[in-house]
Amino acid sequence: MSVSTVISAPRESVFDYLEDIANHAEFTDHYLEDWHLTRIDSVGRGAGARFRVAIPGNRYSWADVTFAEVERPHRIVEHGRTGKSNRIRTVGVYDLDPLPGGATRVTFTMQTAPATLADRLVEGLGARGWLRRKNRKALHRLRTIMEDGAGEGPRAARRGRRVTVAGG
């Protein structure tokens, strides 16, 4: 599954924002909830978070991701797990490509490795399309945040809360 958007901001600025996993809750909180950092340093390789995926009817909603590769300023790769007993492996990749005029194309690609037949069936019966729609909206929200700067004005209300360390 892959989605993309064009952001009117320099690639380095977009990368700096995405490199801090604590910022991800701001643009994904419409379907990823209850974020908690897995370590105090939320920036760069090894930074991670745990959260709930708000899929309707999902009994095993917890997931986690950790930044496995951070290649400045063009790529971030996150590895994670979700599902019953964390048996479904996930890989998410943010690719940032510079465009003329100082804009940036952000492409998010997510791959899953369902462990069982039941996991593959659930993914095929709507979970994939649901995730594509939610990730498309997340990139739209990311674009709004990056283009509005510090989040001043009427659009600032669209930002989610920045995540902190568990219990913080």
Asked whether residue 166 is assigned to any structural domain, the reply reads: no
Residue 41: inside a domain: yes
d(CA 164, CA 168): 6
The whole-chain average pLDDT of the chain stands at 87
pLDDT of 117 reads 78
Question: What letter represents residue 116's amino acid?
Answer: T
Q: Is 78 exposed, middle or buried, given 0-12, 13-18 or 19+ CB atoms closer than 10 A?
A: buried
Q: What would the mean pLDDT of 84-88 be, rounded to a whole number?
A: 80
Percent of the chain predicted with pLDDT > 90: 65
What pLDDT shows up at residue 112? Answer: 84
Greater pLDDT, 128 or 155: 128
Q: What does pTM read for this prediction?
A: 0.86
Q: How many structural domains is the chain composed of? A: 1
Average pLDDT over residues 143-160: 66
> For the chain, what is the radius of gyration of the CA atoms?
16
Q: Does 103 score more than 80 pLDDT?
A: yes
119 assigned to some structural domain: yes
- Whether 48 maps to a domain, the answer reads yes
CATH number at residue 90: 3.30.530.20
Whether 165 maps to a domain, the answer reads: no
DSSP structure class, residue 162: P
Q: Is residue 97 part of a domain?
A: yes
Strongest mean pLDDT among 11-15, 53-57, 145-149, 153-157? 11-15
- Domain extent, residue 18, equals 2-158
Q: Is residue 168 part of a domain?
A: no
48-56, long-range: CB < 8 A, 24+ apart: 48/21, 49/21, 49/22, 49/24, 49/25, 49/163, 50/166, 51/25, 53/82, 55/31, 55/127, 55/130
Q: Is the pLDDT of residue 138 over 70?
A: yes
Residue 90 has pLDDT above 80, yes or no: yes
The SS3 of residue 42 is coil
Q: Does residue 72 have a pLDDT over 90?
A: yes
Whether residue 10 lies inside any domain: the answer is yes
Residue 79 above 80 pLDDT?
yes
